[in-house]
């Protein structure tokens, strides 16, 4: 029974950290540890922004991040961008974070095997 619960928590934790869309992350040889209070912003190949399976336009994304930051001033944002997306979309998210006052912004990558 304990083993089944352990598997459940591992699987549910893994899936809850993704932005809700299929994204091919770029590879890197080293990775960083994530801060505990993080919000994942997904960027698709086409430049769409997602948080928890919900798509946002630029202005709506800024409003959502503002609300999240107001509720949790120690919020960290992790950008999960598709490797074929334009860099301008990641810069847009980073710019929004800077305007709001979010200091911890990271870009997710896939560990190179």
Query: Is residue 63 scored above 90 in pLDDT?
Result: yes
Q: Are 82 and 89 in contact (CB under 8 A)?
A: no
| CATH number for region 2-111 | 3.30.420.270
Region 12-23 average pLDDT: 50
User: What's the confidence (pLDDT) of residue 51?
Assistant: 92
User: Half-sphere exposure (CA, 13 Å, Cβ side) for 89?
Assistant: 21
Q: Are 18 and 24 in contact (CB under 8 A)?
A: no
On average, the pLDDT of the chain sits at 79
User: What's the confidence (pLDDT) of residue 108?
Assistant: 82
User: What's the confidence (pLDDT) of residue 14?
Assistant: 44
Regarding predicted confidence, which is higher, 94 or 35?
94
């Amino acid at each position: 029974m304990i083993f089944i619960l352990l598997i459940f928590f591992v699987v549910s934790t893994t899936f809850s950290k993704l932005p809700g869309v299929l994204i091919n992350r770029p590879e890197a040889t080293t990775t960083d540890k994530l801060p505990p209070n993080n919000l994942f912003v997904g960027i698709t190949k086409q430049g769409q922004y997602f948080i928890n399976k919900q798509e946002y336009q630029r202005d709506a994304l800024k409003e959502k991040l503002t609300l999240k930051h107001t509720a949790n001033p120690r919020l960290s944002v992790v950008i999960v961008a598709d490797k074929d997306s334009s860099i301008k979309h990641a810069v847009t998210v980073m710019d929004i974070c800077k305007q709001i006052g979010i200091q911890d912004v990271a870009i997710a990558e896939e560990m190179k095997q």
